[in-house]
Amino acid sequence: MPYLAETMRKRTIRKQWALLNPISHAITGAAITQREKLNQLRMLEYSALESIIKGNGTIHDWRVLVDVLNLSESMARGGIGKDEVMPVCEKVQKALHESAMRYQKTLKIGLSGEGIQACRDLIAYADLQQSSISRSEFEKYIQKTKDYIRSHGDRVVEIS
């Protein structure tokens, strides 16, 4: 029997992953997020805002603006542009909440003039925040925001 125990040992087979160059991956993570990627993100955000302004907004467009708000607020609480961004976040949160209440009554998504301007300011601040940190730090804030919302933290506002 001792012979079987010796031959039955599990053997570790180490794999070499050739899919990823660790040096270029580290450089990419440490670098500032590429301007092209941020521009694509801004276009998505501005097009969502424009469709809401024109009266063609959908829940998806509203959700895009909520995501910008959540991420910017999370980054501001982390110390990136805290004094400038937090007052704008509060205005946008109030405007989006009013928009959600209006949608429940009329099935149309719309924003007030103050809400539109606050959303534009927030998108501009979000661009400054995201272009001032590294890509890996940006991804950490995205994950941190997702986790906080999922955990139903004390500052999470639910609309029912």
Please report whether residue 3 resides in a domain: no
Q: What is the pLDDT of residue 30?
A: 74
Determine, yes or no, domain membership for 72. Answer: yes
Domain holding 70, by residue range, is: 33-150
In-domain check, residue 57: yes
Mean pLDDT value of segment 77-81? 91
Q: Between vectors from CA 76 to CA 71 and to CA 77, what angle results, nearest 5°?
A: 100
Q: How far is residue 45's CA from residue 32's CA, in Å, rounded to a whole number?
A: 20
Q: Which of 158, 49, 56 is nearest to 113 (CA)?
A: 49
Report the pLDDT value the prediction gives residue 150, as an integer from 0 to 100.
Answer: 87
**pLDDT for the residue 10:** 74
d(CA 122, CA 89): 7
pTM value? 0.79
| Range in 5-9, 46-50, 124-128 with the lowest mean pLDDT | 5-9
